[in-house]
Structure 1
Amino acid sequence: MTKVDKPYGSWPSPITPEDVAAAPGAPQWPSVVGEQTWWCAPDPATATVGLMRRGADGEVGSVLGADWPVGNKAIGYGGRPYLATPDLAVFSCSRDQRLYRLADVPVPLTPADPDGVRCSNYSDMILGPTGTEIWAIREVYEIPQTNRLTDPAPRTTREIVAIPLSGAAAEDPDALRIVARSHHFLSTIRLSPDGTRLSWLGWNHPVMPWETTDLMVASILDGVAVAPVRVLGGDEGSGGVDSQGSIDTQVSVAQAEWADADTLYALADPDGWWNLFRVDLAGEETTATNVFPTQTECGHAIWRVGSTSFAVTDAGVVLRRSLGDETLILWDPETGETTDLAPGWTEFASSVSGSAGSIAVVAASATEPSTPLRIDVARRDTVRCVERAEYPHEAWVGVPERRHVQVEGGWQVPYIYHPPTNPGYRGPSDTPPPLLIDVHGGPTSSTVATRHLAFALFTSRGYAVASVDYGGSTGYGRAYRDRLRHTWGVTDVEDSVAVARALADAGLADPRRTGIRGGSAGGWATLAALAHSDYFACGTVYFPISDPGTWFDEQTHDFESRYVHYLIGDPDKDAERFAKVSPLAHAAEITAPFIMLQGLDDVICRPDQADRLVWAVERVNPGLVRAYHRFPGEGHGFRKDETMSVCLQAELDLYADVLGAGK
């Protein structure tokens, strides 16, 4: 096909906002269940998540049907919502947050909460040592009895509880038994193979789990965890053990799994990277040894309860390894050798799950959408659990490229470049394309070099997109994450501008036609960039933080209610620093047009964060806010396809007006 010359930003494209919004979400939480493989599948049409399975015969179908959506609200972002074995399945229903045992009609295992008094959820389930109970992390949130916002932390408790499989606790809450209490936050409960020990991760305010966590181990006596001790992790002087047997300083343990009755494998970062450690408990003193030292990341930031980056199998440990593109490797503890288990796949979600001989994982690549895989570790056989659906506009979907730019201090800032892509059109040789800088959330998330249909909505029209792993992103070690400590609103903005300038210098972007977009912490960075930089011509802001001086304690959910202590500082002692970076405090300095998109049920970044920023800008620059859409029934991260259609169309309208041809 001969391409037609047409200005960038004006190319016709068959990819529509409705097309992108209707695309299925990425699968989650895969599991090996005997000869079957199970996973969770988001459905944008219903804004729910269903439980799916692939049988040994290759047939794929729903486990529960549309009437039983799965999910929970653990720490605000959810946790592993089901446990499945060949003989048993238990799941958390997203409608009422109760646990149910799978049967012809699901049987409730946990009591209903009294309306308006408390909300409970259960996540990261395991089978108890007697086989008659499910053990899970229970989170209980006491609902305020006044209209005044109060700090959620004192009203939230978490503990490990035993839930009878008989269903006795569904009507009698006293039938639940507390197995263990330790920290304000809990994750990754695991029972030793002989059923005599329990391990879990814990941490307390004000730290976040990528700063420090404790790996706890306790003996099981009469169904209760007794005498728990920390065996790895912790803060300075806390008693954790590093790879040389010394007291550690600040260590985050991202995951731990039992290898045998006396040995755990754990992902920990005393050396600055989440590497694989072996924790030996058999001797008089616990020892922790880095068995796979590498200056690459093998772990993950805990944003969801029970997230996993490795699995223990009979053939060795299967784990993700990354510094940019990821690999899924098998590490042999006898020889130390590694084997690439999934060549061709370059991104793996933090949901690696396994059994003795097989593992399940969600994988993607530059040309492949996220899909669940089942891999026979011994035979190295890979089964794609869902056949790739034919997409009629594949030629309009670009292939991303990994790049980086060097910034002050010698840091390399990685980013993913998505070039303008259209089989029928090309831009003029003497004019570079308009650019959209995409800023991920978290901020300890990271961008991925995968087939991206939402970006194709823009690139197929002649825009370039660059998604930035600014300082603070996960995947590049603790030192890179800590670049954002007390520099939120500075480092993320400077790195985003540096990427935009580098692409302009390379002739791949028009510096006069560069926009910025992002949600949550990415929405914050977008507003901060508009307030503190004059580089960007426009912005798209999804559910942001705009006023960090009010984004803590009662103004957000429990998990992140002290996060600003790391990101900016103490709200009482560092008021000047808060005011300096606050987009709301500098609303009058925002001169580029933008759109704001906010869910009215968002308890993480409450609507008033968006409201007050919009009002402040409109007071001094009427008309600068090109659109403000407030969506009832949407929380933090939009889930309805009609919502996303409206948002994406609003983006297209903004970019066409501000960045389009002739601008």
Structure 2
Amino acid sequence: MGQARQTRAYGEWASPIPASALAEGARKIEQICLDGDVITWIEMRPDEGGRSAVMRWSPGGAATDVLPRWFDARTTVNSYGGGAMASRGGVLVFTQYSADAFPKTRDQRVHRQDPGALPVPITPPVAASYADLEIDPAQGVVYAVMEETNVVTNGQPTQSLIALDLAAKAPPRILAQGSDFYAAPRLSPDGRKLAWITWNYPSMPWEGTELWVADIDPSGALRNPHKVAGAPAAHVDPMLNPVLQRLMRFSDEAVVQPLWSPAGRLHAVSDRVEVNGDRWANICRAEDGRLAPVTREAAEFAGPAWQLGGSSYGFVSETEVVAAMSRNGTWTLVRVNTETGETQLVDTPFSSIEHLHIGNGAAVFVGASFTAPAAIYRMDLATGETELVRATRPALDEDVQACIRAPRSITFRSGPDGAGQSHAFHYAPLNPHFEAPEEEKPPVIVVIHGGPTGAAKPALDLTIPFFTSRGFAVLDVNYRGSTGFGRSFRRAIYGGWGKVDVEDCLGAVAALVRDGKADPHRVLSRGGSSGGYTTLALATFTDLLSAAASYYGISNLEMIARVTDKLEAHYAELLLGPYPSASKLFRERSPLFHAERIDCPIILFQGTEDPVVPPKQARVLIDEMKARGLPHAYEFYEAESHGFRRTSSIVGSVEEELSFYGMILGFTPDGPLKAPQLRNRGDADT
């Protein structure tokens, strides 16, 4: 007979998932490269202080470390990085990240490593960083995006498209310049052409970009550069946000991931494809100087390009592509006939597919499901057999697995008139050893993804069962503005940031309460970056929350409009309006300027080296809450940036968050936990 379940209040259940399990022995795959049958990848390791290690695997062999421990393959281009390495013919090139070497920057020199040798730098010691590397063995160069910290254009570090000498005998050579951003230099199979992506302020890479192609002459220079895609809008509504109008007059097409077919035909993913009255990011092919759709699906074949080096499709042959496709919040693998555009579902257990590469009859990707953690897999496309290459965490034992279940996908009406429609994943409390008193409803944590151009991740994040196994319900919300639901849904947040996302969180909770699956008096929220902002907005502009946890969240929208990273220098204006002319709206939506309305205790977590949401964003709100006597707690983590990478930060923050919820809701979480210092609680100051 099974063990009898204990009756204990929600939040107090004993969980087999300690906070340490969220980071210890875990790793995050940041990039994959295929070099023949050899798979090379970058994995971030919290146990090594967040170092990004390079590993290599070949069929029949074991995964091995490529670099000594003092190398860290990580780029700071656009702050979010990506595309920090490339491998071809056994030669590895990567961008090194190390301690301060130059004023206001990091050592970001590109290194080359030959088999059996130590890495050697191939770029000079200057204040520049490099990303999106592409090796051209015939020319003996590496194509890359260069970002120069001390050379400023439009108030931000200058980017160029460059060629680096693989032999380190010549300085970097600028191939293209003049645009604010460059990405994805991709060499044609015959080595005679180069394609790349570019865009200018105030655009973002998921809104308006241009696809360019040029011939490579024998000297290595680019000749006859011409634009293939990225035309301005035919009509611009004069009533739109002026920032959005400027973007649309630059390019009204988001083109990403240029890729050449085996015969040298250029393809890319573009959101100009219209299906069922909306626009979707589909695979297209360059024909007669323009992009023509290959697929016409009400689905997305690429996510938002927050990082460089993205890859979500690849060629099996001239007439077949294997691609990752997102529909209704989850990803699938599909085969695409490039002549007919027909798509055929590939049966896999995965709901999340990232870093997809195709080569030698195999698909290599990071796959995950709601019940299984991410791992690198190699799928034989002829047989469908899938081989595990690298797990991202130790195997989950039976007790942990028993506390994990796929969520229920819900769609609900939202907004003041109920005209809006949004989506969420609902995770119910789950622990086979416990049940709650019969009349009790569970507290619910509203999880708010970052971006806001992003999406709730359709994959196992052990943080969620960390809470649900203790008796919390979790709502992971795809509010208006999220990706994967078409361009209209993504753009619905423009002008409404801090309003429509808040409305959708209110609507998600109301739907759960109507179903009798949550306690309306015990609602919590957690979010990072812009998700942290929405969490703070919920705490300030609604009476929904009992407590809030903000991870590197934005408290002052005016400050983020003035000081943030290069990629997002004008992003807040796109989401709200031109600054400073719309400064009134920025202040209206900023929690900092309405701290007297904060309706619940808040805990803040912040990295001291965050270039996207600088630490001052947290400090000014802390000072305001102190002055007003509002209950709060906070923790600053040294050497952490935008997103925590170290085991101590990841574990410590979630322990303090859970302890904080217990303090506010009046229960004692199970197990030893690091407790935060709660200030201004009145009778219970600690």
TM-score exceeds 0.5: yes
Residues in 2 aligned to 1:478 and 1:123: alpha-carbon distance in whole angstroms? 28
Partner of 1:406: 413
Identify if the C-alpha distance between structure 1 residues 155 and 497 changes in structure 2 by more than 3 Å, giving closer, same or farther. closer
Secondary structure at 1:556 match in 2: coil
How far 1:131 sits from its partner (Å)?
Answer: 4.4
Partner of 1:377: 381
Partner of 2:440: 431
How far 1:216 sits from its partner (Å)?
Answer: 0.9
Code of the residue aligned with 1:584 in structure 2: it is: L
Secondary structure at 1:137 match in 2: strand
| Matches for 1:29-428 after TM superposition, within 5 Å | 29-46=31-48, 47-95=50-98, 96-103=107-114, 104-114=116-126, 118=127, 120-128=128-136, 130-142=138-150, 153-169=154-170, 175-221=171-217, 222-236=219-233, 250-259=252-261, 263-270=265-272, 271=274, 272-280=279-287, 285-314=288-317, 316-323=320-327, 324-349=329-354, 351-386=355-390, 389-392=394-397, 393-408=400-415, 410-428=419-437
Residues in 2 aligned to 1:23 and 1:513: alpha-carbon distance in whole angstroms? 33
Identify if the C-alpha distance between structure 1 residues 660 and 278 changes in structure 2 by more than 3 Å, giving closer, same or farther. farther
Q: Does the 8 Å CA contact 1:341/1:377 hold for their aligned counterparts?
A: no
How far 1:155 sits from its partner (Å)?
Answer: 4.5
How far 1:340 sits from its partner (Å)?
Answer: 3.0
Q: Does the 8 Å CA contact 2:122/2:166 hold for their aligned counterparts?
A: no
Identify if the C-alpha distance between structure 1 residues 581 and 97 changes in structure 2 by more than 3 Å, giving closer, same or farther. same
Give per-residue Cα distances to partners, 1:129-180, cap 9 Å, x unaligned: 624221111111118xxxxxxx8843511122221221224xxxxx222222
Partner of 1:594: 602
Code of the residue aligned with 2:112 in structure 1: it is: R
Choose which of 463, 470, 484 in structure 1 pairs with 2:472: 463
Code of the residue aligned with 2:94 in structure 1: it is: F
Identify if the C-alpha distance between structure 1 residues 505 and 234 changes in structure 2 by more than 3 Å, giving closer, same or farther. same
Code of the residue aligned with 1:278 in structure 2: it is: R
Q: Does the 8 Å CA contact 1:5/1:427 hold for their aligned counterparts?
A: yes
Code of the residue aligned with 2:163 in structure 1: it is: A
Partner of 1:645: 651
Q: Does the 8 Å CA contact 1:504/1:510 hold for their aligned counterparts?
A: yes
Q: Does the 8 Å CA contact 1:361/1:372 hold for their aligned counterparts?
A: yes
How far 1:581 sits from its partner (Å)?
Answer: 0.8
Code of the residue aligned with 1:79 in structure 2: it is: G
Partner of 2:489: 480
TM superposition outliers: structure 1 runs of 4+ over 6 Å: none
Number of residue pairs matched by the alignment: 632
Residues in 1 aligned to 2:420 and 2:280: alpha-carbon distance in whole angstroms? 16
Q: Does the 8 Å CA contact 1:441/1:519 hold for their aligned counterparts?
A: yes
Residues in 2 aligned to 1:412 and 1:26: alpha-carbon distance in whole angstroms? 33
Q: Does the 8 Å CA contact 1:400/1:451 hold for their aligned counterparts?
A: no
In structure 1, stretches of 5+ residues that fail to align are 144-150, 170-174, 240-246
Q: Does the 8 Å CA contact 2:113/2:120 hold for their aligned counterparts?
A: no
Choose which of 11, 17, 31 in structure 1 pairs with 2:19: 17
Residues in 2 aligned to 1:662 and 1:430: alpha-carbon distance in whole angstroms? 20
Secondary structure at 1:484 match in 2: coil
Code of the residue aligned with 1:233 in structure 2: it is: G
How far 1:560 sits from its partner (Å)?
Answer: 0.7
Indicate the percent of aligned positions where both proteins have the same amino acid: 30
Secondary structure at 2:17 match in 1: coil
Residues in 2 aligned to 1:152 and 1:31: alpha-carbon distance in whole angstroms? 32
How far 1:477 sits from its partner (Å)?
Answer: 1.1
Identify if the C-alpha distance between structure 1 residues 660 and 445 changes in structure 2 by more than 3 Å, giving closer, same or farther. farther
In structure 2, stretches of 5+ residues that fail to align are 99-106, 237-248, 670-686
Residues in 2 aligned to 1:238 and 1:380: alpha-carbon distance in whole angstroms? 47
Partner of 1:242: none
Residues in 2 aligned to 1:303 and 1:29: alpha-carbon distance in whole angstroms? 13
Code of the residue aligned with 1:195 in structure 2: it is: G
Secondary structure at 2:28 match in 1: coil
Residues in 1 aligned to 2:34 and 2:90: alpha-carbon distance in whole angstroms? 13
Secondary structure at 2:655 match in 1: helix
Residues in 1 aligned to 2:548 and 2:131: alpha-carbon distance in whole angstroms? 37
Identify if the C-alpha distance between structure 1 residues 185 and 238 changes in structure 2 by more than 3 Å, giving closer, same or farther. farther
Code of the residue aligned with 2:252 in structure 1: it is: Q
Q: Does the 8 Å CA contact 1:109/1:164 hold for their aligned counterparts?
A: no
Code of the residue aligned with 1:486 in structure 2: it is: G
Identify if the C-alpha distance between structure 1 residues 207 and 533 changes in structure 2 by more than 3 Å, giving closer, same or farther. same
Choose which of 528, 535, 546 in structure 1 pairs with 2:544: 535
How far 1:26 sits from its partner (Å)?
Answer: 2.6
Residues in 2 aligned to 1:138 and 1:437: alpha-carbon distance in whole angstroms? 39
Code of the residue aligned with 2:621 in structure 1: it is: L
Residues in 1 aligned to 2:124 and 2:668: alpha-carbon distance in whole angstroms? 60
Identify if the C-alpha distance between structure 1 residues 503 and 661 changes in structure 2 by more than 3 Å, giving closer, same or farther. farther
Partner of 2:246: none
Identify if the C-alpha distance between structure 1 residues 248 and 293 changes in structure 2 by more than 3 Å, giving closer, same or farther. farther
How far 1:202 sits from its partner (Å)?
Answer: 0.6
How far 1:182 sits from its partner (Å)?
Answer: 4.7
Code of the residue aligned with 1:293 in structure 2: it is: R
Code of the residue aligned with 1:523 in structure 2: it is: G
How far 1:513 sits from its partner (Å)?
Answer: 0.4
Give per-residue Cα distances to partners, 1:176-230, cap 9 Å, x unaligned: 2222225211111111222222111111111111110001111222311223222
Identify if the C-alpha distance between structure 1 residues 158 and 465 changes in structure 2 by more than 3 Å, giving closer, same or farther. same
Code of the residue aligned with 1:200 in structure 2: it is: W
Does residue 1:498 correspond to 2:495, yes or no?
Answer: no
Give per-residue Cα distances to partners, 1:545-587, cap 9 Å, x unaligned: 111112124x111111111111111122112211211111111
Code of the residue aligned with 1:98 in structure 2: it is: R
Choose which of 649, 654, 662 in structure 1 pairs with 2:660: 654
Give per-residue Cα distances to partners, 1:408-464, cap 9 Å, x unaligned: 464431111121111210112322100000101111111123222111221111011
Give per-residue Cα distances to partners, 1:466-506, cap 9 Å, x unaligned: 11111111111110111110111111111111111111111
- TM-score by length of structure 2 reads 0.88
Question: Which moved further from structure 2: 291-300 or 353-362?
Answer: 353-362
Secondary structure at 2:261 match in 1: strand
Does residue 1:524 correspond to 2:521, yes or no?
Answer: no
Q: Does the 8 Å CA contact 1:108/1:167 hold for their aligned counterparts?
A: no
Q: Does the 8 Å CA contact 2:254/2:270 hold for their aligned counterparts?
A: yes
Q: Does the 8 Å CA contact 2:139/2:220 hold for their aligned counterparts?
A: no
Residues in 1 aligned to 2:496 and 2:640: alpha-carbon distance in whole angstroms? 30
Does residue 1:549 correspond to 2:558, yes or no?
Answer: yes
Residues in 1 aligned to 2:86 and 2:573: alpha-carbon distance in whole angstroms? 36
Residues in 1 aligned to 2:159 and 2:507: alpha-carbon distance in whole angstroms? 42
- CA-atom RMSD in angstroms: 2.3
Identify if the C-alpha distance between structure 1 residues 399 and 303 changes in structure 2 by more than 3 Å, giving closer, same or farther. same
Question: Which moved further from structure 2: 64-73 or 14-23?
Answer: 14-23
Choose which of 549, 564, 572 in structure 2 pairs with 1:564: 572
Secondary structure at 1:168 match in 2: coil
Secondary structure at 2:47 match in 1: coil
Partner of 1:148: none
Question: Which moved further from structure 2: 184-193 or 411-420?
Answer: 411-420
Secondary structure at 2:72 match in 1: coil
Give per-residue Cα distances to partners, 1:631-660, cap 9 Å, x unaligned: 111111111111122211111111112235
Q: Does the 8 Å CA contact 1:128/1:162 hold for their aligned counterparts?
A: no
Partner of 2:239: none
Code of the residue aligned with 1:396 in structure 2: it is: C
Code of the residue aligned with 1:32 in structure 2: it is: L
How far 1:538 sits from its partner (Å)?
Answer: 0.6
Identify if the C-alpha distance between structure 1 residues 226 and 131 changes in structure 2 by more than 3 Å, giving closer, same or farther. closer
Question: Which moved further from structure 2: 353-362 or 187-196?
Answer: 353-362
